[in-house]
Homo-oligomer: A and B are copies of this chain.
Amino acid sequence: MRIEILNTGTELLLGSTANTHGTWIGQELVKLGLRVQRQTTVPDGQAILDSLRETSIRSDVVLVTGGLGPTSDDITREALAEVLGVEMIEDEAALRSLHEFFEKRNKPMVEANLKQAQNLVGADILPNNNGTAPGIYAPPRLGGDPKCAIFLLPGPPRELYPMFHDEVVPRLKALAGVDEIDNVQVLKFVGIGESDFHDQLDDELANIDGLEVGYCARLGEVDLRLIGPDAVIAQGRELTVSKFSEYLISDDGANLESVVVRELIKHGKTLTTAESCTGGLVASRLTDISGASSVFTHGFVSYSNEAKSQLIGVSTETLAAHGAVSEEVASEMAKGARLTSGSDFSISITGIAGPTGGTKDKPVGTVCFGIAGPKGIKTFREMHPRGRRDFKQQVSQRALDLVRRTLKSDQ
């Protein structure tokens, strides 16, 4: 079933309002096993008419958002009537709802609102309990040609979301029929690049009949998306895991910080952080997860040398001999933070975020990590040369992955 989204609204193209409809509707359709083929955003005005015509010729279903308001630039209803070649008619129930809406709020209804009670002959009114704009559903063949089902939906999310669930989903299910529905699985990997997948996996995945494969790379993270019937997904998954199991962090969409918190909870262990160059980002990511308080109690942001000595007992001799960015200091940071907090595990990070502070031996991007646990301390020295924010994000990702790997091997 070919489904398109058509968003209307000049503000969306000026960037003054973020267009979140595509993301939200896309996710909701995936849950139904359906997919969006294309999303188009046009300004208010004539472009709505043109794009309605194009999308309805190309698709089986068009989901239109916006342009149902009371003002002069809201012309989606009229545009659809013209495209389908049908008349408009006042809907009594919609008019009654409008009156009730204003009575409930002790506000007078102005004449401009009257056009919101207009329906297309042969179409359904979709009630709106959260605003003045009812939706409209024009079933296929309403206008003869094109033979496409068209939904007109309000723009504000608090009106769109409930109407989508109550009115759109049941109609989409009926239109789609059960046998068309594919599944989707997202495998999340950390510590490996998109090109590694291409080199070692792409060709073999392409040989699996009926499997669609997609990638999405973020900083320090790759999502592999497998789409198809369950048995085909399982086959793709098995092949992938056989090559990259050590990098696989989740198969349910959970991000790295969730996985770390989940593993700590599972094993009944606690973690502390001793951060220099990441400046609290690792602690902040852990505490984004509800339930973090049961596994994370103390975090140290020891940004200066003095703080490293005072808070977590790094010796001034070690600092003087090796410099703050060294495996020796990372080791003492991890050791001191673990002791001071009484946590089971600790992760330390010390590095040079830049843009200043680099030297020939330790250029911008140099990072040392320490991870301490019941079995001792390990340290790592790596290069992550990037802009300051990306550096922090990438290094925090690496730190959390070191914790994940340690929890996996030390249990």
Contact = CB atoms under 8 A, between A and B. Distances in A.
Interface of A: 9-20, 22-30, 35-44, 47, 51, 69-73, 104-106, 110-113, 130, 132, 156, 158, 184, 186, 194-199, 202, 206, 213-219, 223, 225, 273, 275, 277-284, 286-288, 290, 292-293, 296-304, 306-307, 310-311, 340-341, 353-356, 383, 385-390, 392
A106 B215 contact: no
Given A284-B278, A311-B298, A387-B130, A202 B303 contact: no
9 contacts: A14-B26, A14-B36, A18-B20, A19-B22, A38-B41, A70-B195, A113-B195, A287-B301, A300-B301
A284 B290 contact: no
Contacts of A156: 217-219
A381 to B, nearest CB: 11
A13 B22 CA distance: 7
B71 A197 contact: yes
Of the candidates A11, A196, A284, the one having the most CB atoms from chain B within 10 angstroms of its own CB is A284
Nearest to A42: B38
A264 B90 CA distance: 49
Nearest to A17: B216
Contacts of A280: 273, 275, 280-284, 287, 299, 301
A16 B215 contact: yes
B38 A14 contact: no
Contacts of A130: 386-387, 390
Contacts of A70: 194-195, 198
A277 B299 CA distance: 12
A337 B245 CA distance: 44
A356 B38 contact: no
A17 to B, nearest CB: 6
A110 to B, nearest CB: 5
Given A42-B38, A130-B390, A303-B287, A16 B216 contact: yes
A158 B22 CA distance: 22
A185 B218 CA distance: 32
Contacts of A47: 37-38
Given A37-B13, A130-B386, A283 B301 contact: yes
A214 B10 contact: yes
B288 A14 contact: no
A63 to B, nearest CB: 12
A341 B304 CA distance: 11
B214 A158 contact: no
Given A202-B71, A282-B280, A307-B341, A44 B13 contact: no
The 8 nearest A-B residue pairs measured at CB: A279-B287, A299-B301, A15-B26, A280-B280, A280-B283, A15-B27, A297-B304, A280-B284
